[in-house]
Structure 1
Amino acid sequence: MAAISRKKILEKFRKMIAGGVPIVGGGAGTGLSAKAEEAGGIDLIIIYNSGRYRMAGRGSAAGLLAYGNANEIVKEMAYEVLPVVKKTPVLAGVNGTDPFVIMPLLLTELKTMGFSGVQNFPTIGLFDGQMRQSFEETGMGFGLEVDMIATAHELDLLTTPYVFNPDEARAMTKAGADIIVAHMGVTTGGSIGATSAKSLDDCMTEIDAIAEAARVVRKDVILLCHGGPISMPDDARYILERCKGLHGFYGASSMERLPAEAAIARQTADFKAVTLEHRTQKWEPVLGKSDAQTKGQSGTKTDAKKKKG
């Protein structure tokens, strides 16, 4: 499908906000995920490298490591996802710190392919401590992701960056971000999800701080939340009811991995629960003997009876 204009997308979202309807975005690691999400009425679909890893049974954090070229993987996934999406804006996860791309050319190529916008993933924001410091000191810091969002904004692409604190929220909003996504960490739950996470109440405090910082820069910026313990619809409802400046939710693992894990396991268990009681038979196998041996023994016994008679 062709890219949908940023203006058209934002007009729709402004109407949704005015009507009290939450904006829901979701990651898609496969074409089937994208089709199912669109069938469910999703507002945004985002594809990025961790979606491929996630739906291959690996943790989403694999997308942060050097298992493949993130930007090239997204372009490969485009041929799987874009042709099957009929009316929903599809965004590309872009590695803004990739030192081997000419960013304006990459973003222009993505727009030509049919992407309506971008998000900053993989993101340095998920690193902290000494590793984060090393990235920042060696020219691969979060500032490059801000620059990528600014360039995308200049190209009139929808921009929906992840941020992890108020400072990053301010920087991304100044760069022209249309939607700020408050990232609460790797999603918990399921067989390959994170097991440690902050509480929902902790998330509320952080989301409110991020929202306030973004709105100091621009009052009309749209705010979504993502990740951490916000993994199920009830979790999202809890946050949305309490964070008044929030306009919706963006799910990735929560939108495709967790539902797939649960549904496939349940369906398999249901098939395994089917019984054949009405057709059960008592078997008396002859162990260690071939059919020929069995027939031979049977014939010998018959001959012996005839001789006695």
Structure 2
Amino acid sequence: MGRTFSVEEINTRVRNTIQSRHPVIGVSASSGLVGKASEAGGADFIVLYSTGRSRVMGQGTRLIGDANTVTYNMHEELWAVVDDTPIIVGVDANDIFNWDLHKLLKKFQAVGVSGIIHNPMIGIYGGEYVKIRTAIGHGFDREILLTEMAKDMGMYCMAYTWTKEETVAMTKAGSHCIIPHVGGTGGGLTAIPHKSVEDCVKIINSLIATAKSVNPDVLCLAHGGPFKDPESVLDIYRYTDAQGYIGASSVERTPVENAVMGAVKAFKSVPLRRM
């Protein structure tokens, strides 16, 4: 059964990983099976996204249902099988049915979560949409407020960012971990078109430098785009200052697709007994 980690316990865990010269790895786990296997594989974080539910349903990553309720209900399944890894949950800061963010965070805190990340996140829709929603009080500012509140409540905070302005804001809000997001992850049966490695490396380095200029001690990881498997993720460590990687589709979708396809093909290739 799961346990709750303090911010200092998570920071110590992260420092030990880096000092051992290994990357910090967070994985999306939208089922108990993926969570249990991820912990056995050595994940530093289990990150629970409502959007991840669509991946294990065989769909591409997409919004699904009432995000906070979906996340809350999924947490129990992970809590039952993840024993010694921090569980970070995605919280929708713009959920009109849970507008009281303090109350919402207390609800998640009460069931043992160790931290939060803003998800679904408005930044993925691009700058113009962010401006429109933020102008009416339903935007990125709410995600910043969520992070500030969670940090003040003693929760570990992670944040996806797409621009320098967002990176500055989330780092100042107290996020312990900044994750430059370079778009949907390629690969697999529902691959998403993405930027080149060269373009993504420039974005990652720019946002990491921005975060470090605000807080030199902030943990910086990377996510998305062409970085879809261990081989391609090597380019993150070769060409950027990221200290690790967050895997979503690259952990709970494409490896499952490949494993199941391989198993079925292997079973199919066994000949029937000669009559």
Question: Which amino acid counterpart does residue 146 of structure 1 have in structure 2?
Answer: I
Residue of structure 2 equivalent to 1:291: none
Give the whole-Å Cα distance in 2 for the aligned partners of 1:84 and 1:153. 26
Task: State the Cα deviation string for residues 110-145 of structure 1 (Å, max 9, x = none).
Answer: 122111100111000001265334322222111110
Which residue, 158, 162, 165 being the options, matches 1:164? 162
Give the whole-Å Cα distance in 2 for the aligned partners of 1:188 and 1:150. 32
Which residue, 123, 126, 139 being the options, matches 2:124? 126
Q: Does 1:41 align with 2:58?
A: no
**Larger Cα Rg: Structure 1 or Structure 2?**
1
Q: Structure 1 residue runs of 4+, over 3 Å off? A: 129-133
Which residue, 107, 110, 114 being the options, matches 1:109? 107
| Number of equivalent positions | 273
- Normalising to structure 1: TM-score of the pair? 0.86
Matches within 5 A, 1:219-258: 219-243=216-240, 245-258=241-254
Residues 134-143 or 3-12, more deviating: 134-143
Give the whole-Å Cα distance in 2 for the aligned partners of 1:39 and 1:11. 19
* C-alpha contact 2:3 2:83 (8 A) present in aligned 1: no
* C-alpha contact 2:229 2:250 (8 A) present in aligned 1: yes
Q: CA separation of 1:213/1:7 partners in 2, compared to 1, >3 Å: closer, same or farther? A: same
* C-alpha contact 2:3 2:86 (8 A) present in aligned 1: no
**3-state secondary structure, aligned to 1:177:** coil
Give the whole-Å Cα distance in 2 for the aligned partners of 1:193 and 1:3. 35
**3-state secondary structure, aligned to 2:221:** strand
Matches within 5 A, 1:79-228: 79-101=76-98, 102-128=100-126, 130-194=128-192, 196-228=193-225
**3-state secondary structure, aligned to 1:225:** coil
Structure 2 residue runs without a partner (length 5+) = none
Q: CA separation of 1:173/1:25 partners in 2, compared to 1, >3 Å: closer, same or farther? A: same
Question: Which amino acid counterpart does residue 81 of structure 2 have in structure 1?
Answer: V
Q: CA separation of 1:223/1:273 partners in 2, compared to 1, >3 Å: closer, same or farther? A: same
Question: Which amino acid counterpart does residue 220 of structure 1 have in structure 2?
Answer: D
Give the whole-Å Cα distance in 2 for the aligned partners of 1:172 and 1:130. 19
Question: Which amino acid counterpart does residue 60 of structure 2 have in structure 1?
Answer: G
Give the whole-Å Cα distance in 2 for the aligned partners of 1:23 and 1:92. 17
Residues 68-77 or 136-145, more deviating: 136-145
1:79 shift after superposition: 1.4
Give the whole-Å Cα distance in 2 for the aligned partners of 1:273 and 1:19. 43
Task: State the Cα deviation string for residues 21-52 of structure 1 (Å, max 9, x = none).
Answer: 21000001111010111111111001111111
RMSD between superposed Cα atoms in Å: 1.2
Task: State the Cα deviation string for residues 74-110 of structure 1 (Å, max 9, x = none).
Answer: 0110111111101010110011122332111111221
Residue of structure 2 equivalent to 1:294: none
Percent sequence identity over aligned pairs: 35
Structure 1 residue runs without a partner (length 5+) = 281-309
